[in-house]
Amino acid sequence: MTEALAGKKSGGKNPLRWLNDNFESIFLVTGLLGMIFLITWQVAYRYVITKFTPGASTMVAAAPEELARYLFVWISYLAVPVAIKTRDLIRVDIVYDMLPKRLQNMSWVIVDAAMLIWAGVITYEGIIHVSKLMGFASATPVLKIPFWILYLILPIAFGLCIFRTLQDLAKQVKETGTVDTLLAIALAVVLCLPFIFKLPIATAVYLFGYFAILLVLGVPIAMSLGIAAMFTIWAAHPIDISYTAQVSFAAIDKASIMAIPFFVASGNFMGEGGLSRRLFHMCDEFLGNAFGGLAIATVVTCVLFGAMSGSGPATVAAIGALCIPAMVDRGYDKKFATAVVACAGAIGVLIPPSNPFVVYAISANVSVGKLFMAGIVPGLLVAAVLIFYSYFEAKKHGWRGENRVRTAKTKMTAVWDAKWALLVPVIILGGIYGGFMTPTEAAAVASFYGLIIGIFVHKELNKENLIPCLISSACTSSMIIVLMAMAQIFGSIMSIERIPTMVAEFILSLTTNKILILILINVLLLIVGTFMEALAAIIILVPLLLPIITQLGVDPLHFGVIMVLNLAIGFITPPVGVNLFVACGISKLKLFDVAKAALPMLGLMIIVLLVVTYWPPLSLALTAFVK
């Protein structure tokens, strides 16, 4: 795709083929760049331009954020057709992986059929909503853009989803065969019969039953939430179906959620722009001579990179490509080296900034800044246990770093070389806790900074890797954003039916012992983390668990750390341990071998989890310094 966008493949000679391959990508690249520049301009305007222009217009200060917010909504949904085309979708594929090839092909037919229903409903309801808005003179507060123009994204993006799904289905039918395709469609129709005939089933059974069935079938989690909600609406009428279009837009039209694509882009720019390599070199320079020095340097680099990217998998991808070959060259066991990177990458979601913390803060309605601060000590504690384990394991096997002279001069040279990377956490955390920027603004400025350093200072970001970075950032964040939108629809039905309250009352009727309930919740989260992506788990489980922990008197900030740490451990537990997959992809080792090597580290992380769970001050002490 990216080569075609650069005009290097034969598709560049055929305008229609080139447009088919890259139509959405053009908007993703320009839209994400536009968002970064607009929010950076907003910060610069507030602190620089207004200083020299006392009568500066307040409209000029407010307009960039409003425009960036609507660009964010548009590119979030325009990235979905790209994800459908590349099948880069967040889904639970445990059952799928166990199926024979024939049944896997049939399951994809059902997945495509489900996505057609999902996209078709929102396209249709989007068209109706746009036509209604055209009858009103409503417009945005600052830029006065008519709302009907903004809501056009629904029929446009979801219409493209239909188009891309039909393309995927056409390819899949050829591979599946006519008979198996018809069998798969027949099964899909059978699954629809309960709501078609409106069987007298409880609303909660419709909602969670369809959600569970769709997950097992391999339907992407966001679509599973949306379709389960739609089927429930048609069968039980808890809300009107037109609500799906309204919420699809309104649920993500929030400045706070924009932090997610900015942090993702920031991490990608840092990795491709050479900042991660310089960080690792600096850590190796200080720690490389000791037993396990290179492994310890890897953990420290993951902490520093996590303070830039906010993502566990991104940390593993950026650092693993550097550290695993280096450790193997120094004689470390390859399985151990891969396991260290996979486990240390989990620190990336505990050290601020953190995408899971942003999602939790929005879901639980708590301060992002306080939650970031709450994750620092637990994140450093995880790093400490990994460092101690690496040291003793390396000492046992005689693994050391590169045997060379390291002087004060070489160390200072390494620090100076990494200076631009070391400034990123200062910009993000200093901006947030100094009261200069919101988390969203800090993320945008960090992205802009990484872009400038990568292009003009280190000159490692160029036309070959910049466009892939932007497209990847938009697509990665898009699936999280769409998940949040569909969870809003799903959650609205849960609230109307009082499902979270009933769950809380049921659990508390069994026991009110705080220690026991927290153990049960930890076990639940650890199990969920083994098969569900962390952000999806947060969005789905927070509405169910928050009423319980609130009644127990647990601080929602403390619970946020417990939840994210649980799900971070899920990054390194099969079958859906995404950090393990990324690390194994780099080292070319089998998942089972790396998981086995990671077991001692996993055990230490669970001990940290228990300490964090039952000693709240560990998480909450630093939050007192945040307003």
How far apart (Å, rounded) are the C-alpha atoms in residues 305 and 596?
26
Count of domains forming the chain: 2
Per-residue pLDDT at 53: 65
Residue 227 covered by a domain: no
Residue 48 has pLDDT above 80, yes or no: no
Per-residue pLDDT at 3: 42
Please state the rounded mean pLDDT for residues 345-349: 86
- Cα→Cα distances 41→30, 330, 433, Å: 16, 46, 20
Residues 6+ positions from 565 with CB-CB distance below 8 Å:
350, 378, 382, 605, 608, 609, 612
Indicate whether 474 and 540 sit together in one domain.
yes
498 token code pair = 């009082």
Per-residue pLDDT at 503: 82
Which residues form the domain of 53? 2-200+241-253
Residue 531 covered by a domain: yes
Residue 517 covered by a domain: yes
Residue 235 covered by a domain: no
Closest CA to 338 of 390, 381, 287: 390
Indicate whether 245 and 290 sit together in one domain.
no
Closest CA to 446 of 463, 465, 467, 423: 423
- pLDDT band at 563; cut points 50, 70, 90: very high
How far apart (Å, rounded) are the C-alpha atoms in residues 70 and 16?
28
Q: What is the pLDDT of residues 384-409, one digit of tens each?
A: 999 999 999 988 888 876 666 778 88
Residue 58 has pLDDT above 60, yes or no: no
Indicate whether 446 and 337 sit together in one domain.
yes
The three-point CA angle 535-541-547 to 5° equals 135
Phi, psi (rounded to 5 degrees) for 288: -65, -25
Per-residue pLDDT at 7: 44
Beta strands (DSSP E) in 501-596 are none
Indicate whether 41 and 187 sit together in one domain.
yes
Residue 218 covered by a domain: no
Indicate whether 500 and 518 sit together in one domain.
yes
Indicate whether 148 and 289 sit together in one domain.
no
More confident residue, 560 or 238: 560
Which domain-ending residue is among 253, 274, 296? 253
Residue 288 has pLDDT above 90, yes or no: no
Q: What is the pLDDT of residues 490-542, one digit of tens each?
A: 888 888 888 888 888 888 888 888 999 999 999 888 888 877 777 778 888 89
Per-residue pLDDT at 60: 63
Residues 6+ positions from 493 with CB-CB distance below 8 Å:
203, 207, 229, 232, 233, 238, 239
CB atoms within 10 A of CB 86: 13
Residue 287 has pLDDT above 80, yes or no: no
Query: Do the Cβ atoms of 266 and 447 come closer than 8 Å?
Result: yes
In the chain, the amino acid numbered 472 is S
Per-residue pLDDT at 360: 93
Please state the rounded mean pLDDT for residues 281-300: 83
Residue 149 covered by a domain: yes
Indicate whether 433 and 458 sit together in one domain.
yes
pTM above 0.95, yes or no: no
Q: What is the pLDDT of residues 572-583, one digit of tens each?
A: 887 667 788 788
- pLDDT band at 168; cut points 50, 70, 90: very high
More confident residue, 287 or 114: 114
Indicate whether 246 and 272 sit together in one domain.
no
Indicate whether 342 and 248 sit together in one domain.
no
Which domain-ending residue is among 208, 231, 253? 253
Residue 276 covered by a domain: yes
Indicate whether 573 and 494 sit together in one domain.
yes
Please state the rounded mean pLDDT for residues 333-349: 89
Residue 231 covered by a domain: no
- pLDDT band at 57; cut points 50, 70, 90: low
Indicate whether 449 and 511 sit together in one domain.
yes
- pLDDT band at 10; cut points 50, 70, 90: very low
Per-residue pLDDT at 127: 96
Indicate whether 515 and 422 sit together in one domain.
yes
